[in-house]
Amino acid sequence: LPVLFKEELKDEEAQEGASVTLSCELTKGAPLQWKIGPKVLKASDKYQMRQSGTTAELIIRDLEVKDA
């Protein structure tokens, strides 16, 4: 069976310069890629990715307008 979103991303609002955590839940554990538009995000000081079982999180630090 394909992997589907059990709980999709929700819109979050935050101030420029702040941090935000985005999370989603999948129907089963599988590797996940986070993207902004066509750009695949890689772990860095700005982006932190965590995945535990079927739950995945993306933390974006030092928010900028381009992170919308």
10-55 pLDDT, tens per residue?
888 899 999 999 999 999 888 889 998 899 999 999 999 999 989 9
Both structure tokens of 32: 């996940």
Question: Which residue shows structure tokens 């089963």?
Answer: 28
Q: Measure Cα distances from 16 to 7, 19, 47, 51 in Å.
A: 26, 8, 15, 25
Residues of the domain holding 20? 5-67
Q: Residue 62's pLDDT band (boundaries 50, 70, 90)? A: very high
CATH number of the domain that 51 lies in?
2.60.40.10
The number of domains in the chain is 1
Cα torsion 9, 43, 40, 37: sign: positive
Model-wide pTM > 0.75? yes
Instruction: Return the residue matching tokens 């839940």.
Output: 25
